[in-house]
Amino acid sequence: MINLIIILFGLSLLYISAISRLEGYIKALAFQGFLLTILVLNSFGHLNPWNFAFLILETLGFKAIIIPQFLMRTIRENEISRETEPYISHFYSLLFTSLIFALGFFLAYWAREHVAGLGHLHFGISISTIVFGLFIILTRKKLITHTMGFMIVENGIFLLSLSKVHEMPMIVNTGVLLDIFLVVLLLGIFINKIESTIENPDVDRLTYLKD
């Protein structure tokens, strides 16, 4: 069952790479948050009650509900519906993502053979997720999409930490959660501000900004 959840998490990356609608990106992020919540619930026996409650709040409250709702409100208020003209086409993006996904399974197999005491599939798919998040940041133009890429990277880091769940201190999770909230909040404000000046908030347009 847990392996199926992790594979579904990886398949959400393929979904993101194949679409251009930003609402689809946000729904996929919310879906990842729900899947991470299920994985945390499965790790209940390895966590103290306070850390468990905090992780549920982080995954279900922030990753699955609050941040996706904030991002959805941002794109609707700024009338940003699609990721137009990415640096590479959606076909090649899907192809590259498929290779990243395959890399995850290879790393999972390698970890099973060489690393003891590690969630092998957790490890492989989490590395794929981190690489994919960086790929989204590098190949998309919308600033809001870069925010989502950062969220994907953080989800990958969180999934990686679940591979050694008993070694995941609450202070680390608190720092990660604050980083997420701060970056999403600041980028949301930034996008709202520049929308009044720049009609199409792509990263390419930032080169034209002057003092």
Query: What DSSP string describes 82-138?
Result: B--S-SS-HHHHHHHHHHHHHHHHHHHHHHHHH-SSS-HHHHHHHHHHHHHHHHHHH
3-state secondary structure of 79: coil
Tally of domains within the chain? 1
List pLDDT tens digits, range 40-97: 888 766 667 877 888 888 888 888 998 888 888 888 877 777 766 667 877 888 899 8
Residues 138, 51 contacting (CB under 8 angstroms): no
Cα–Cα distance between 130 and 115 in angstroms, integer? 20
The encoded tokens of residue 135 equal: 């790929």
For helices 22-42 and 143-162, the axis angle rounded to 10 degrees is: 10
Q: What is the pTM of this model?
A: 0.81
Confidence of residue 128 (pLDDT cuts 50, 70, 90): very high
Length of the chain: 211
The encoded tokens of residue 75 equal: 């794109």
What is the model's pLDDT at position 21? Answer: 86
Residue 173 has pLDDT above 70, yes or no: no
Tell me the residue range of the domain where 52 lies: 2-208
List pLDDT tens digits, range 36-48: 999 888 876 666 7
Residue with tokens 């390895």, as numbered in its chain? 46
Cα–Cα distance between 3 and 159 in angstroms, integer? 12
Please name every residue paired with 21 in a beta bridge, in sequence order, or none if there are none: 82
Residues 30, 4 contacting (CB under 8 angstroms): no
